[in-house]
Amino acid sequence: MPLPKGSLSSASSDTVNEGSSALKHLDYDDNDAISHCSTADTVHDDESKYKSPFITVNRSQESLSDASGTGSFVPSRIFKRRWWSNMAIRARRKLGEEIEMEQDLARGLLADQLLIGHRRRKARSYWFNYCVFGGIGGLTILAFLLTVNLMLGIATLFWSEDIDHILRNWGKPGSGTEGLAWYPTDFLRDVPPIPCHSHNDYWRKVPLFSALRAGCTGVEADVWLYGGELYVGHNTASLQRNRTFQSLYVNPLVQILERQNPQTEFYNGTDHGVFDTDSGQSLTLLVDLKTGGAETWPVVLKHLEPLRERGWLSFVENGEVHRRPVTVVGTGNTPFDVLMANATYRDAFFDAPLDEMWEPRHVTPEMAGWPEFADGMPGDSPEEEGSPEETGDHAMTGDKGQGKSGVLPTDEFNETNSYYASVAFTKSVGRLWRGKLTQRHLKVIRGQIRGAHRRGLKVRYWDLPSWPLGLRNHVWDVLVREGVDMLNVDDLRAASRQVW
Asked if 218 and 196 touch (Cβ cutoff 8 Å), the reply is yes
pLDDT at 95 over 90: no
Rounded distance, CA 424 to CA 270, Å? 36
pLDDT value at residue 159: 62
Residue 437 pLDDT class (50, 70, 90 cuts): very high
Q: How far apart are the first and last CA of the chain?
A: 124
Rounded distance, CA 39 to CA 35, Å? 7
pLDDT value at residue 167: 63
Helix (H) or strand (E) holding 127: helix 74-158
Q: Which residues 6+ apart lie within 8 Å of 373 measured at CB?
A: 358, 380, 443, 444, 447
Rounded distance, CA 78 to CA 100, Å? 33
How many secondary structure helices (H) and strands (E) does the chain include? Answer: 16, 12
Q: Which residues 6+ apart lie within 8 Å of 436 measured at CB?
A: 471, 474
Print the SS3 string covering 437-498: CCHHHHHHHHHHHHHHHHCCCEEEEECCCCCCHHHHHHHHHHHHHHCCCEEEECCHHHHHHC
pLDDT value at residue 399: 77
Print the SS3 string covering 418-441: EEEEEEEHHHHCCCCCCCCCCHHH
Residue 347 pLDDT class (50, 70, 90 cuts): very high
How many beta carbons lie within 10 A of that of residue 272, not counting itself?
17
pLDDT at 458 over 70: yes
φ, ψ of residue 289 to 5 degrees: the values are -80, 120
Q: Residue 470: is it exposed, middle or buried by C-beta count within 10 angstroms (0-12/13-18/19+)?
A: exposed
Q: Which amino acid is at 86?
A: N
Looking at 180-184, 232-236, 462-466, which range is the least confident one? 180-184
Query: What's the full length of the chain, in residues?
Result: 500
Looking at 339-353, 388-402, 484-498, which range is the least confident one? 388-402
Rounded distance, CA 445 to CA 464, Å? 13
Q: In Å, how far are 74, 76, 204 from 13, measured between CA atoms?
A: 17, 20, 146
The mean pLDDT of 476-489, rounded to a whole number, is 95
Looking at 36-45, 97-106, 140-149, which range is the least confident one? 36-45
- Which DSSP symbol is given to 291? S
C-alpha closest to that of 475 among 417, 447, 420, 434: 434
Q: Which amino acid is at 213?
A: R
Rounded distance, CA 377 to CA 363, Å? 23
- Which DSSP symbol is given to 344? S
pLDDT value at residue 84: 61
Residue 247 pLDDT class (50, 70, 90 cuts): very high
Looking at 19-28, 142-151, 264-273, which range is the least confident one? 19-28
To the question of pTM greater than 0.75 for the whole model, the response is: no
- Which DSSP symbol is given to 167? T
Asked if 62 and 73 touch (Cβ cutoff 8 Å), the reply is yes
Asked if 54 and 82 touch (Cβ cutoff 8 Å), the reply is yes
pLDDT digits (tens, 9 = 90+) for 163-199: 555 566 666 676 655 655 444 445 677 889 999 999 9
Q: What percent of the chain has pLDDT over 90?
A: 45
pLDDT at 377 over 80: no
The mean pLDDT of 4-11, rounded to a whole number, is 42
